[in-house]
A and B are shown apart, each in its own frame.
Chain A
Amino acid sequence: QVQLVQSGAEVKKPGASVKVSCKASGYTFTSYGISWVRQAPGQGLEWMGWISAYNGNTNYAQKLQGRVTMTTDTSTSTAYMELRSLRSDDTAVYYCARDFLPFAVVVGNWFDPWGQGTLVTVSS
């Protein structure tokens, strides 16, 4: 079955960077885009950006431009999200989620399935 399995929880100090992985299985990795969504404690969902696993095209949320980088490793069917210059308000659960439809060249798809989430805590 289609599955996204994310890396484990992280604790980082302010100013540090974090890199979260999302390993895909059960489908052709390069046919689908992956979005990253985060959820601060007790808050709603925030879309962070999207990457095409086909050609590496990216589309980042404006508020995170310059701090976030999304990449893929097609040899291991894994997507990565790196967030730099961490602040306390970056404390959140980070989810990866796959485009439902394949072969998208730009973001514009609903998300299914989702990874299980990775808690990133930023604290001094």
Chain B
Amino acid sequence: EIVLTQSPGTLSLSPGERATLSCRASQSVSSSYLAWYQQKPGQAPRLLIYGASSRATGIPDRFSGSGSGTDFTLTISRLEPEDFAVYYCQQYGSSPTFGQGTKVEIK
């Protein structure tokens, strides 16, 4: 099983600031089968990024994904009030797994 470790656990930032979230895999993620999801309290996760760097339909371009192999990054260029949430990375190989999440909170 591929273990995904996200860091930091919590990111305290102000609106307008840049957020950089990390996701590290215990072994190489094949074909960049890496996705990012956003989850707000009481809601289902929402797809942001797939294939490590492709934005899902309707996702603003302030969200971007990068990386390959074992190291992946989600960047939010300028935080909007609605971006404060928990973010999960996921590898969707033969046995999908999720990271433990990074909470982006208002400073």
Interface residues of A (CB under 8 A from B): 35, 37, 44-47, 50, 59, 61-62, 95, 97, 100, 106-117
- B residues in contact with A50, CB < 8 Å: 96
Could you tell me if B50 and A44 are in contact, using CB atoms closer than 8 angstroms?
no
Could you tell me if B100 and A114 are in contact, using CB atoms closer than 8 angstroms?
no
Smallest Cβ distance from B36 to chain A, in angstroms?
A: 9
For window 73-106 of B, CB contacts with A under 8 Å fall at 88, 90, 92-101
CA of A102 to CA of B97, assembled, Å: 21
Given the interface pairs A44-B99, A45-B98, A47-B98, the reply to whether A108 lies near B45 with Cβ below 8 Å is no
Smallest Cβ distance from B29 to chain A, in angstroms?
A: 12
Interface residues of B (CB under 8 A from A): 1, 33, 35, 37, 44-47, 50-51, 56, 88, 90, 92-101
Could you tell me if A115 and B50 are in contact, using CB atoms closer than 8 angstroms?
no
Given the interface pairs A44-B88, A44-B101, A112-B56, the reply to whether A107 lies near B44 with Cβ below 8 Å is no
Could you tell me if A35 and B96 are in contact, using CB atoms closer than 8 angstroms?
yes
Smallest Cβ distance from A46 to chain B, in angstroms?
A: 7
Smallest Cβ distance from A42 to chain B, in angstroms?
A: 11
Could you tell me if A45 and B45 are in contact, using CB atoms closer than 8 angstroms?
yes
Q: Which of A95, A100, A108, A111 contacts B94 (CB 8 A)?
A: A108
